[in-house]
Amino acid sequence: MEHSNKKHAILLIILTAIAVLTVVLVLVITNIGRGRNRAGTKLLNIAVTFGDDPCTQKNFSWYTEDDSQNAVIQYYPASESDKVGAKFDTSRAVTAEGFTERLDTYIPKAGEEYSASAALEPKSYTRHAVFVTGLEPGMRYMYRIGDGKNWSDTAEFTTAPDSSVSAGNGFSFLIVSDMQGYIYSDYELWGKVFGKAMDKCGSPAFMVNLGDFVERQDNALVWNYYFGLADGLENVTTVPVAGNKEDKMFLKYFLLGSQDGITGLNGYYSFDYMNVHFTVLNTGDGTKDLSKSQVKWLKNDLSSDKAKNAAFRVVLVHKAPYSDRNHADDSEIVKIRQQLLPLFDEYGADVVLEGHDHYYFRSEPVVSDGTVKAEYESSSVSAGGEKIDVFKLQKSSTGSSGVFYFMPGASGVRQHSKEFRDMPEILAARSIILNDPTFCVCDVTEDHIYFRTYEVDRYKLTATPVECWGIQK
């Protein structure tokens, strides 16, 4: 009898411990969902983006649960001793104010946070946004955001240099795509991928996100997870690309353009970092292909002096116009391919960065409608601790050098495994099904652009190269 009582006592202790751990985990998840940072404030979804001029402008957006009418940022040029998370020096700070708007959205019903098909209930947030102008080029700043009384922890941002890329003066940026999660654990993995990417890149000039941040755009809790579980995301400027999962909510989480401008109001925009030109498209603004207004804008953008005189011309797009599996033969993708490929060839894009299909893809350099391979020479170099396969393109009789289409893969929990399409019109150089999420580090100087893509083991959290390649001018 005594032995039986001991067993019951041990079982009771174990069950009590499990119950306590469950309560703790629920509280942790609830606090992340409510956006409580280490300072105890309720700031969620802190997004830092470029203004129209990356040298002098920066945009900030965040959410709170309360209905505060104030959106305030304080910032100052950083010294070498200034660190993220340190005490904010108000005596050196400049203050700027922005605008707020009350947003009606949804979160999962209590107890359904772990379900991919959770029933949603109404939830209101206040969005805060500030346009900051008059910054110094190439400067690191410390900043904090809040309502004038409650503040975030001290974070940092850096403006673009007012100079051109050269052999000894370049920059690096990150590429991620398709986090596309439903629940906490999905974004817990994304946070670890982001951490590995930061370890590899160090201090990226910015991070390109090729879209599909979430699976359900109206579920505010997963947006909280996207921003809240990537530790340090508030210190990195994001270049967001509208995915098909975001639809109209895209512009409610990322502040684009400038206070008096109209750039980005339809989800497409461009910017120049140093003298590299980036064109960001929105493949969701038309019924099947891009709208006529976006195509007109695209032609004007790629024919602008900044684009024509750029060291490289990089296009960012979510729905991949050029790939060989999963969505490659969808009717809308075929239309987008017919619409965009001749334009990229005509206006001399160097590389098109794609998302949407969750696998690794790199095309041959192609001309015209993508069915003709451009001529090139190949060699190998060492950079970033990796061997890089480098391609030097030869101009054709039409003047085009060829366009690369590149998809680094999905940075979240979902990887596609459908069969490759038999599509002779798609000239694939590498096409790889992956089991784990990826990220890509891109290094740029005046005569090269290198892409180093890594797959992150979701259990061991080791980063292994998938492919390292580049373009040589």
Residue-wise pLDDT tens digits, 38-85: 334 589 999 999 999 999 999 999 999 998 899 999 999 999 999 999
- SS3 of residue 104 by DSSP: strand
Residue-wise pLDDT tens digits, 115-135: 988 999 999 999 999 999 999
pLDDT band at 305; cut points 50, 70, 90: very high
Report field, pTM of the whole predicted structure over 0.95 = no
In CATH, what number does 44-157 get?
Answer: 2.60.40.380
Please check the confidence at residue 303 and state whether its pLDDT lies above 70. Answer: yes
127 token code pair: 């969005």
pLDDT score of 16: 47
Q: Tell me the C-alpha distance between 129 and 194, whole Å.
A: 24
Superfamily of domain 170-472: Metallo-dependent phosphatases (3.60.21.10)
pLDDT score of 37: 42
Whether the CB-CB separation of 62 and 100 falls below 8 Å is answered with: no
Q: Tell me the C-alpha distance between 257 and 252, whole Å.
A: 13
Q: Tell me the C-alpha distance between 111 and 458, whole Å.
A: 26
Type of residue found at 325: R
Please check the confidence at residue 388 and state whether its pLDDT lies above 60. Answer: yes
Q: Tell me the C-alpha distance between 409 and 152, whole Å.
A: 33
The phi, psi pair for 39, rounded to 5°, reads -85, -5
- SS3 of residue 292 by DSSP: helix
Q: Tell me the C-alpha distance between 213 and 250, whole Å.
A: 9
Q: Tell me the C-alpha distance between 272 and 47, whole Å.
A: 20
Boundaries of every domain in the chain = 1-33, 44-157, 170-472
Residue-wise pLDDT tens digits, 137-172: 999 999 999 999 999 999 999 999 999 999 889 999
Nearest Cα to Cα of residue 404 among 387, 389, 418: 389
- SS3 of residue 228 by DSSP: helix
Radius of gyration of the chain (CA): 23
Q: What is the mean pLDDT of residues 164-193?
A: 95
Whether the CB-CB separation of 365 and 401 falls below 8 Å is answered with: yes
Nearest Cα to Cα of residue 178 among 211, 208, 219: 211
Q: Tell me the C-alpha distance between 404 and 390, whole Å.
A: 12
Number of residues that this document lists for the chain: 473
Residue 439 Cα to chain centre, angstroms? 10
Q: What is the mean pLDDT of residues 204-231?
A: 96
Q: Tell me the C-alpha distance between 55 and 193, whole Å.
A: 29
Cβ–Cβ contacts within 10 Å for residue 80, how many? 6
Query: What H or E segment, with its residue span, contains residue 8?
Result: helix 2-33
Whether the CB-CB separation of 354 and 322 falls below 8 Å is answered with: yes
